[in-house]
Each structure stands twice: as structure tokens, then as C-alpha cells.
Structure 1
């Protein structure tokens, strides 16, 4: 369970920081060399929220690639996301120090395909924030946070006071013309907005006042890449380690298939 929690923490960090990047760029911007909705949105929070909402109303699916390094613990992943509902949908295949895992997030429920079958023929674990089993109870806060952070529009209000755009410029990234925002995030303000006690505590104990976020947005006001680097304090040793997370988005608007595994594929943790 400890290893599984660690993997989920790394994934939640990537999702949280990517969403945070979209919120943080809504801070007070200086000048903007871009055009279209991005130029207007970067100077005004309300305009940014409307720009993102309008852009993802129809173009609400994307491919995601994550790359997280938390103090030497590396997690990479690739999958799809679908926005537009109360509970965003997500699927991800991840490579972790403990082996490859698959995740599906549907209807507010997280499903994890573990490296080893929990029961014969049942490789999937179900984690429901409303469930009564020990695993669901232990990870309820994390799954709730993942649901909240998966949709950049839903977290815009939560992070609106935490970031300030310090610079922006036009760049080509992954074959697209983008506006590259450099953002300064206030760790204390960000911590105050967290609903998950673990995430709040991690930010409060990080020992840093602020950290940078790099955000690239394309000409359609859709995120292309978010990159974050910040120190995190290890509660066990007290040592501070560098954590980095990069999320790359592509294939906006292309069809995706995201569905929960069948009930006969879901097993239980030993002892539960």
C-alpha cells in the first residue's frame, strides 16, 4: 500500500501542478506579445477563465504525457483526458520504480491496474472516495484532489491569487506556435487554497516562498506544455529534495476511449 500511495502521489503531483500552471498564468501580467484570446486572457483573470472555458467547450479531449522526478523517484506516463463533465475522465499508462501501472479515472472513481494481480484474473483495484474499504478511505483525499485538478477550468478560482506572470514571449514548441508564460507562484497562497490536507502540508513544509512555473499555450488558447520545479521537504529525513513535473498536451479534439474496467476484473487488496 505504501508503494501504491507513492505512485499515486507522484501522479497527483503532475496533475496538480499542470492545473496550477493554468491558474497561475492568470495573475497580473505585464506586457504580452501574443495575439488573439491569449493576449486578452493573460491580463485579466475573468478573461482567462472564459478563454479556457470557451476553448475546451468543444475541443475537450487531449493526449497527455507526464514526466515526474520526485527526489530521484521517476514516474513517466502517457494517456488521454476528456473534460466537459462534472467528473473529468482520464486514462494513463505509467512507468514507475515498482513496475508499469495503468490508471482509469471515470465518474469520480479511480481504477488502478497493478503490476501483479490482486486476485487470479483480477488485476484492477477500485478506489472510490465515497467507499468504505480501507484503501478508498486512505486515498479519498487524493482521488478528490485529482478530480478537482484534472479540469483546468474547475481549478481556476482555487489558484487565482497564487501566481503572477513575470514574462511571456512567442515560441514554437512541438511544432506549434505558442505563447510561453513564465510564472511566479506564491507557495503560501497556493497552500491556503488546497482542499487536500496532505497537499497543503507538503507545500507548507517545502521551505520555499515561491517557485517557477513555465506554461506554453497555443493560438487556440489550449495548453501545450506545463513545467514546474520546486523543492519538497522529506518528512522522514527533514532533507529538501528537488521535484520536477512536466505535462505535455497534444491532439486536442481528437476522439478518445475512456471506460472503467468490467466488474469481474476488479480485485481486492490482501487483508481488505
Structure 2
């Protein structure tokens, strides 16, 4: 009896230990998380869809991104100014396809303009809002940038496993210290805007879900602290949710041809 029972006990204990090991996560701190995921997605491409909520405002974007340590390239379409806006991020430069309603403000009617992160000074509504807003809008979909912010300013607060869209994932919760990011701020925030909050904004919660290959399938940034620091009622919800799919996607993303790029004159 003992000879047959002992192997059975060993098997049961082994199964229990295996189950416990299976619940452990791959990364113990924010830096290890950022480094591990960056390595997992370097040189790979995925499709993405982003939902931005800020009180009553809703915005949706979709596209594809090719991630590389030297800089992510992405092509996307977003609902902006009441009509679809096409953006490309190539070699750290953002290009915007000018809506038909504003095309007459571009010399020779060229369809694309290069976006400056410092803002574009023009008299028309399109050029007034180009600048940092669209630059941030494009770059907030870059998982490499989000991971760099985690690496520099993130603190891991909780980790575990979770079912997401029918699949098993590793789930990480973090706090991102705004002061530690300097001028490279998420959610379209500028250093000037952060300064106007007079230090009221400390940390922003972030969540990251990873697949079995340590690739992000969802990244969520909670912007409620921004609204609260700005005096918006607590009931207002604000967050950015980006979903990544098909990490085996092939993405050939190029800058627009030079002959199609115009400049909006300063007003």
C-alpha cells in the first residue's frame, strides 16, 4: 500500500506546486517589466485600437505600429475635428493628412503636413490645434514610449493573472510619477499644463496586460487624477485604453512622399 501511495502523494504535491508556480508573474518591478516587454516586441508589429474618454468627450483611433528600439513607426486614423484624420509617425516625426476642409490653407493644396511638437502657428483652426496635441495623439499609441515612461517613472503596485478577451494574461498595475517624466508626459499633457496644476498632480495609475510571449494586449492610463487636480467633479471619468492585436502583423509604414508634404504658413 505504501509503495503505491507514495508515488501518488508525490504526484499530487508536484501538481500543487506546479499550479502555484503557474500563478507567479514574470516581472517583479517596473524596470524589469519595461525591459522585458521592450525586448519581446522589438522588431515586431501589431494592430491597435485606442479609446479616449474625458468626461463627455469620446475619441477613437485605430491603426498599426511597427516597434523598434530606435523608434516606433505607426500609421493611424482618428476622429478629430469632426472628421477622420490620418496620421503617420516615422523616424520620430509626425505627419498629418490635412482634412479637405482645411486643404486650401496649405500651399499648392498638398495633402500632408509635418507636425511640430512645439505647435504650429497659423490662422486657420487646423493649424491652431496641430502642434503638440496631434504629436501627443500619435505618440500615445506607441507601446515603446509607454514602456519607457514605466521604466523611468513607474512603480509596480500589484501583479497577477487575469482572463482578458478569452485569453490568459499577466496583469500589472503601476503608478507613474508625473514629476519624474519631465517634458515627456502622457495623455497629451504638456510640461506647462503640469506646472499650472501647482504640484497637485502626483501619480497616474496605469495597467498593462501581457500575453504568453510578454507582448502587451492592453494598456490603460487612468486620467481621473488629471481632472480632479483641474477641479473637474470626481464623477467625471477619464482614461486612455489601447488594445494591441495580431503581433505577427507585417507593417510597411513610410513617411508621405516629399512632394506631397506642404507647410502651413505662420499667421
TM-score by length of 1: 0.68
Of 241, 244, 251, which residue of structure 2 is paired with 1:246?
A: 241
Tell me the secondary structure at the aligned position of residue 85 of structure 2.
strand
Q: Give the Cα–Cα distance (whole angstroms) in 2 for the partners of residues 218 and 79 of structure 1.
A: 20
State which drifts further: 120-129 or 241-250: 120-129
Tell me the secondary structure at the aligned position of residue 227 of structure 1.
strand
1:216 aligned to 2:190? no
Task: Give the number of the structure whose residues are more often helix, by fraction.
Answer: 2
Residue by residue over 1:213-249, the C-alpha shift from the partner in whole angstroms, topping out at 9 and shown as x without a partner, is 22211110111101222233499x8545542110001
Q: How does 1:127-146 map to 2 (within 5 A)?
A: 127-128=115-116, 139=131, 143=135
Q: How does 1:44-83 map to 2 (within 5 A)?
A: 44-58=29-43, 60-83=44-67
Q: How does 1:1-272 map to 2 (within 5 A)?
A: 34=23, 39-40=25-26, 42-58=27-43, 60-116=44-100, 117-119=102-104, 121-128=109-116, 139=131, 143=135, 150-152=142-144, 156=147, 158-160=149-151, 162-185=153-176, 189-196=177-184, 198-203=189-194, 205=197, 207-231=200-224, 232-233=226-227, 239=232, 242-269=237-264
Instruction: State the shift of 1:71 in Å.
Output: 3.1
Change (3 A) 1:71 1:195: same
Residue by residue over 1:115-137, the C-alpha shift from the partner in whole angstroms, topping out at 9 and shown as x without a partner, is 2252365222212559998669x
Q: Give the Cα–Cα distance (whole angstroms) in 2 for the partners of residues 143 and 271 of structure 1.
A: 18
Q: Is the 8 A contact 1:33 1:170 kept in 2?
A: no
Instruction: State the shift of 1:140 in Å.
Output: 6.3
Q: Give the Cα–Cα distance (whole angstroms) in 2 for the partners of residues 128 and 209 of structure 1.
A: 28
Q: Which protein has the larger Cα radius of gyration, Structure 1 or Structure 2?
A: 2
Tell me the secondary structure at the aligned position of residue 118 of structure 1.
helix
State which drifts further: 199-208 or 244-253: 199-208
Structure 1, unmatched stretches of 5+, are: 1-30
Q: Give the Cα–Cα distance (whole angstroms) in 1 for the partners of residues 175 and 119 of structure 2.
A: 38
Residue by residue over 1:25-48, the C-alpha shift from the partner in whole angstroms, topping out at 9 and shown as x without a partner, is xxxxxx99645xxx23x2144533
State which drifts further: 253-262 or 215-224: 253-262
Change (3 A) 1:51 1:263: same
State which drifts further: 239-248 or 211-220: 239-248
Q: Give the Cα–Cα distance (whole angstroms) in 2 for the partners of residues 56 and 246 of structure 1.
A: 19
Structure 2, unmatched stretches of 5+, are: 1-19
Aligned residues: 231
Change (3 A) 1:157 1:63: closer
State which drifts further: 198-207 or 117-126: 198-207
